[in-house]
Structure 1
Amino acid sequence: MKTSSLNEKVIPTVFSLGIFVAAWYLGALAINNDILFPGPLTTIQRLFVLVGRGRIFGPLVQTVLKALAGLGLSLIVAVILGFLMGVSKSLFKIFAPIVTIIQSIPIVSWLALAIFWWGVGFRSPMYIVFLTLFPILTINIAEGVRNVDSKLVEMARVFHFTRSQVVKDIYFASAIPFLLSAMRVGVGIMWKSVAVAEFMVGTTGLGRGIADAKASVDTQAVFAYTILLVLLGIISEKVLDMLSRKIGRLA
């Protein structure tokens, strides 16, 4: 049973990856110009060269740290504000438009302001990730809390549930699926936003590596760094899948 289930997950993934790599290879073969469009083998070779030169591990760690710091900060603020917006209609009416405005501001505007507010370095990409994820997570948590049936809360009070039990077992339990759904969307945006921020206002990281590769017309390095960002996105998705299953079993 477990082997069959594993095959059902692995085989489609491998098949999908094979189609992507084959299309990439054929596209590179048709263009026949590594400067414009390097193929998979050329890109992997370039990646190993960058690893050998010590230009991968440090930037990779920096990018992950910035992304996780921004994600952690956005989760803290979103959980608090989203919960308050969910339990209070007045707060929802006040803050929902503000959150929507923040979400509507283009990332390029935040990047321009980031240079003035936080300068170049670690903080700007971290705050860009925060500003990108915070609205998505906040609205979804608020909707999850608002989705709670008021009769369920009344029943909990009848059975003398404490306030902390109501918050944890009813409100947060209702918000978690909404939060996980938002994070599935958010993790992809997270890696894109941190890379763009590093490209524009960063001094280290994979995005900075892409900027340096662009400046030296090193398309192979651009592809190599991009592969790493894609892998980070895939790993994040898998971690969220595992977390969702674990929470589902606990529920």
Structure 2
Amino acid sequence: MDNLWKYLLGIVVIFITWTLISYVVGSSLVLPDPLTVIRTIATELKRLEVIYALLTTLSKVAIVLAITVSVGVTIGFFVGLNDTVYDVLRPGILVIQAIPIITWLALVMFIWGIGWLGPVIVSILSLLPHTILSTAIGIRTTDKRLIEMAKVYKVKPSRVAKDIYMGSVLPQFLSAMQVIIGNVWKVVVVAEYMCGDKGIGVLIAWARQSVAVEKVYAYTAIIITIGLFVENVLNHFVKKTLKNWELV
């Protein structure tokens, strides 16, 4: 409960700071005040077009997370098991991770053009390397003595994977999930802005073209709110999972 009050106090501080800065700037075309943005949010959320765009963006986020986690963990698990494979593939994974989003956007637009698929592909390519490396590092940091002991006592491979490898991967995986969930919203919305045909990112692009600055802030605030909610739920889940894991 104490943390909740601190969190709410932080939001109040942001609200007051935003109000003061908007007053100093004195231009709604640069920084509208928070009350204007809140009223705009309330108005926009009554429009079916905005609800549909929001659901479209959320569906892309869910698909990106599902593919990134399932594929990334699977590849990372097998990459981490073999030192040679890890050493050979690691430079390539790091290169893919270092490629700017704008480069992926350009390539995707050349191949698939404007549409639903582009933002999903861009987001997966941007986030997948981190998941693979985090899982592989977790596998590689597994205590080798536990593996040798399991071999001596002829423990089933399924038990070794579940109780030893997963115990080592779990902290790395949960940490990677926090990073991915913190970035997936930004990546998806930016990709929608550049090469999407539907979604919140597209609405932001339209609002920019019509110089509806308050709508740009409103759509951004909606995504930030959802992202913070999901991130806080994940943090609670992470702490609970790690605590239960330590007790087992």
What TM bracket, shorter-length normalisation?
over 0.9
TM-aligned CA deviation for residue 53 of structure 1: 2.6
1:51 aligns with one of 45, 57, 60? 45
Stretch of structure 1 that moved more, 168-177 or 53-62: 53-62
1:176 is the counterpart of 2:170? yes
Q: Does 1:117 align with 2:111?
A: yes
Distance 1:20 1:111 in 2: 33
The CA deviation at 1:249 is: 4.0
Confirm or deny that 1:67 pairs with 2:61.
yes
Instruction: For 2:32 and 2:50, locate their aligned partners in 1 and report how far apart those are by CA, in whole Å.
Output: 19
Contact 1:70 / 1:128 at 8 angstroms: preserved in 2? no
Distance 1:106 1:22 in 2: 35
Q: CA deviation at 1:136?
A: 0.8
Q: Unpaired segments of 5 or more residues in structure 2?
A: none
164-173 or 45-54, larger mean C-alpha shift: 45-54
Q: Aligned equivalents of 1:186 and 1:231: distance in 2?
A: 16
Match of 2:115, SS state, is coil
The answer to whether 1:141 aligns with 2:156 is no
Which of 239, 245, 249 is the aligned partner of 2:239?
Answer: 245
| 1:208 aligned residue | 202
Tell me the residue number matched to 1:3: none
- Structure-1 separation of matches of 2:112 and 2:164: 39
Structure 1 unmatched ranges of 5 or more:
1-5
Could you tell me which amino acid in structure 1 is paired with residue 156 of structure 2? T
SS at structure 2 position matched to 1:55: helix
CA contact (8 A) 2:41 2:222 kept: no
**Identity of paired residues, percent?**
33
The structure 2 residue matched to 1:186, chosen from 180, 195, 211, is: 180
Q: How far off its partner does 1:245 sit?
A: 2.9
Distance 2:131 2:179 in 1: 10
The one of 135, 138, 160 aligned to 2:154? 160
Q: Partner of 1:52: helix, strand, or coil?
A: coil
Task: After superposition, give the CA deviation of every residue in 1:62-94 in whole Å (9 maximum; x if it has no partner).
Answer: 111111111111112211111111110011011
The answer to whether the aligner puts 1:151 opposite 2:145 as a matched pair is yes
TM-score, normalising length from structure 2? 0.95
1:161 partner SS? coil
